[in-house]
Structure 1
Amino acid sequence: MRHHRSDVVEHAIAVLDAYGLADLTMRRLASELDVRPSALYHHFANKQTLLAAVADELLARGLRPVDEGEWDVRLTQAASQVRDALLAWRDGAELVATVHAFGLGGRAAYDHVAEALEGCGLDEQWRATAARTVLHLVFGHATAEQTHVQASSAGAIDGEVAAVDDFSDGLSLVVAGIRAEVDSRRAS
């Protein structure tokens, strides 16, 4: 049976969600698709390009246009959407953060956050720095959340997921810092 690129990505997402990133191998994916591993290379040059396509698809499924409004409201909504998209899938945060760091994919996460900063009063360089800072908060927080859940469910650590979710508070602190920079530039 011949599979299309989209079939391979869809099955890779299912393997990711069922087994985790460490077990998303070309061999396992080929087995799920009932093909030889070499057949996957017709669609993807290597595992890294497959992972980038999976990351891009996870983001495409989770990101929606942000509401109209002030830049800080848009930024908060955009960052929250990226976080939700990452947390929707097992190891989604690690996958997207990794391919983004390698420059292979996951660009939609950055673009989503950066777009929310349009019109905030910062020049392009400062907007890019602000977007990367927010994105690093999102990646780090979501990865920590997923790691804690997995370690707890595997019995590696005692306890449930932390009752305090401080993502919103941390994001508010970062947005306040960006707002302070915007205000200082307007004053000068």
Structure 2
Amino acid sequence: MPIRGLSPDDVAATALRLVDEGGLPDFTMRRLAAALGVQPSAIYWHYPNKQTLLAELADRIIGSRRQSIPHDAWSARLREEAIALREALLAYRDGAEIVSSTMALGLGSDIATSRLVDALATGPFDSAATRHAAATVLHFILGHVSLEQQRMLYDSLGAREGAPVLLSDASGSEGFRFGIDTIIDGLEVRASEESSSASGVEKTQPITSEP
């Protein structure tokens, strides 16, 4: 039976605090139980395993930053939503790893994808293309932030000497915006090509006279 006064929210909130303080590698259910002052079995009443709990943390991380999107254009909405998701992941230590591992296991909700799909809703894409575009943007966000957070960790440990040229200009907010803008540019080209194809625009052959 659950311990009186210990709610799923208590467990998840404490778990997120521990991960943010010590990092995902040092997080264990036993350490969480000690922080809550309970036996590990009390946690399993609410979350059957560690990955289920991490899936809850992933949803909380993604939902921690919701930026107001006043734009009408799908490209502007998508750009701002991508920036908001990056900020949400960076707000917690190992945020990108927690979210990506949860996605890989098919756990948690699809909050991140839904937010990007909503941003693309006013675009000219069909439902399949919209989902693919949202997934592409999300994969870029997770990969970029994962690299950022790994570098933060190595810097805190003094493990890096200097900054590799390949990464120094590509990491950070400037590199992130460049990547998102590049994806959006490609989507705009695709939208233009599909629009031309749908309208039946064809290249005309030059008229030549018979010899």
Q: In the alignment, what sits opposite 2:185?
A: 176
Q: In the alignment, what sits opposite 2:62?
A: 59
State the distance in 2 between where 1:103 and 1:65 align: 28
State the distance in 2 between where 1:106 and 1:144 align: 24
- Which of 98-107 and 13-22 deviates more? 98-107
Q: How many residues align?
A: 188
Q: In the alignment, what sits opposite 1:109?
A: 112
Q: In the alignment, what sits opposite 2:195?
A: 186
Note the C-alpha offset of 1:65: 4.3
Query: Which amino acid in structure 1 is aligned with residue 55 of structure 2?
Result: A
Structure 1: stretches of 5+ with no match in the other structure = none
Note the C-alpha offset of 1:59: 1.5
State the distance in 1 between where 2:194 and 2:35 align: 55
TM-score, normalised to structure 1's length? 0.94
Q: In the alignment, what sits opposite 2:209?
A: none
Q: In the alignment, what sits opposite 2:72?
A: 69
Give the alignment partner of residue 97 of structure 1, picking from 72, 97, 100: 100
State the distance in 2 between where 1:19 and 1:29 align: 12
Q: In the alignment, what sits opposite 1:11?
A: 14
Q: In the alignment, what sits opposite 2:144?
A: 141
Residue 2 (1) aligns with residue 5 (2): yes
State the distance in 2 between where 1:56 and 1:74 align: 21
Q: Which has the larger radius of gyration?
A: 2
CA contact (8 A) 2:67 2:80 kept: no
Query: Which amino acid in structure 1 is aligned with residue 25 of structure 2?
Result: A
State the distance in 2 between where 1:108 and 1:64 align: 14
What's the RMSD between the two structures over aligned residues?
1.6
Give the alignment partner of residue 167 of structure 1, picking from 135, 155, 176: 176
State the distance in 1 between where 2:168 and 2:26 align: 26
Structure 2: stretches of 5+ with no match in the other structure = 198-211
- Which of 160-169 and 135-144 deviates more? 160-169
